[in-house]
Amino acid sequence: MYVILLGPPGVGKGTQGVLLADAMGWQRVVTGDLLRAAVDAGTDLGHEAQGYMSAGELVPDPLIIEMVKEKLTALPPGRGVLFDGFPRTEAQASAFGLMLQALGRTIDGVVVLEASDEVLTARIAGRRSCPSCGAVYNTVLAPPKQEGVCDNEGSQLVHRADDTAATVEHRLTVYRRETEPLIAHYEASEASVHHVQGDKRVEEVQGEVLEVLGLGT
Ligand code: AMP
């Protein structure tokens, strides 16, 4: 199955993506993680992307499309794939459609996670993530067992440079303007689109995500 997780920053795409991919043995394609890795590695892509990311702007479509194309062709065939943070614009969605067509694949489901701006802002302020396994914590809502340390990996958790109050509001505006219209894009396509409230307990949201995708027990 190929599934897209759509939703504003802070809604829980990362958390739900890890849980869903682990439960199903799927690959994850997370453009934010790929970009952060490129920045850390100091590649040309990383240098180009860094300014946009720290300003809460989208990285230009051609860079993203090329990056995803490379990633898609390198994926082992036959496994489910979960896309988190991609596509984010109409141009990316169109290019993605063509990439999938060339691979003989289709999007089987789109899960739209939703929450109010107040919930999103609070979550992002306390968000900490593990650079090794991608696990996401919240200092208030879902703290790790030991402060600042990943329960799974023992790695030091990081606070993303773009998770500041100043940037969050802008990222939400960019989401509403550029990415939210993709819900209508996929509703008008063959893919089935499911809306799930993301402001509940992690396990509850996970149960609903599995359910709407027809993967619940
Ligand atoms: P995320 O971890 O998904 O919140 O992404 C962090 C930042 O990376 C975003 O604010 C953008 O600057 C950039 N980014 C991630 N995915 C994309 C994408 N599909 N298109 C453009 N920019 C992206």
Name the pLDDT band for 110 (thresholds 50, 70, 90): very high
Task: For the domain made up of 2-116+193-212, give the CATH fold.
Answer: Rossmann fold (3.40.50)
pLDDT band at 76 (very low <50, low <70, confident <90, very high): confident
13: annotated active-site residue: yes
Longest distance between any two alpha carbons in the chain, whole Å: 46
pLDDT score for 134: 81
d(CA 8, CA 137): 17
- For the stretch 33-58, pLDDT in tens is 999 999 999 999 999 999 999 999 99
Token couple for 106: 């289709």
- Measure 217 CA to ligand 1 centroid, in angstroms: 33
Question: Which ligand 1 atom is nearest residue 9's CA?
Answer: 4
pTM (two decimals): 0.90
CA pair distance 21, 95, nearest whole angstrom:
24
Testing ligand 1's pocket by substitution, the residue of 88, 99, 128, 174 carrying the most ligand atoms inside 8 A of its CB is: 88
CA 176 to CA 8: how far, in whole Å? 8
User: How are the residues of the chain apportioned to helix, strand and coil, as percentages rounded to the nearest 5?
Assistant: 50, 15, 35
What distance in angstroms lies between residue 153's CA and the mean position of ligand 1's atoms?
24
Alpha carbons 205 and 20: distance in angstroms, whole number: 11
- The mean per-residue pLDDT over the stretch 14-37 comes to 94
Give the 3-state secondary structure of residue 155.
coil
How many CB atoms lie under 10 A from the CB of residue 9?
A: 24
Closest CA to 63 of 47, 79, 77: 47
For the stretch 130-179, pLDDT in tens is 988 888 898 888 899 999 999 998 999 999 888 888 888 999 999 999 99
Catalytic residue of the set 28, 88, 123, 128: 88
Task: Identify which of 35, 47, 177 to mutate to test ligand 1's pocket (most ligand atoms within 8 A of the CB).
Answer: 35
Question: CA 12 to CA 6: how far, in whole Å?
Answer: 10
Higher-pLDDT residue of 166 and 26 is: 26
Mean pLDDT of 103-107: 91
Q: Which residue has the tokens 């990996």?
A: 153
Is the CB of residue 20 less than 8 Å from the CB of residue 210?
yes
Indicate whether 217 pLDDT > 80.
Answer: no
Q: What is the pLDDT of residue 113?
A: 97
- Tell me how far the alpha carbon of residue 77 lies from the centroid of ligand 1, in angstroms: 25
pLDDT band for 70, please (50, 70, 90 cuts): very high
Q: Are strands 136-138 and 127-129 parallel, antiparallel or unpaired?
A: antiparallel
Of residues 68 and 136, more confidence is placed in 68
Q: How far is the CA of 208 from the centre of ligand 1 (A)?
A: 25
160 catalytically annotated:
yes
Question: Average pLDDT of the chain?
Answer: 93
Extents of the domains making up the chain: 2-116+193-212
Q: Is pLDDT at 91 greater than 80 in this prediction?
A: yes
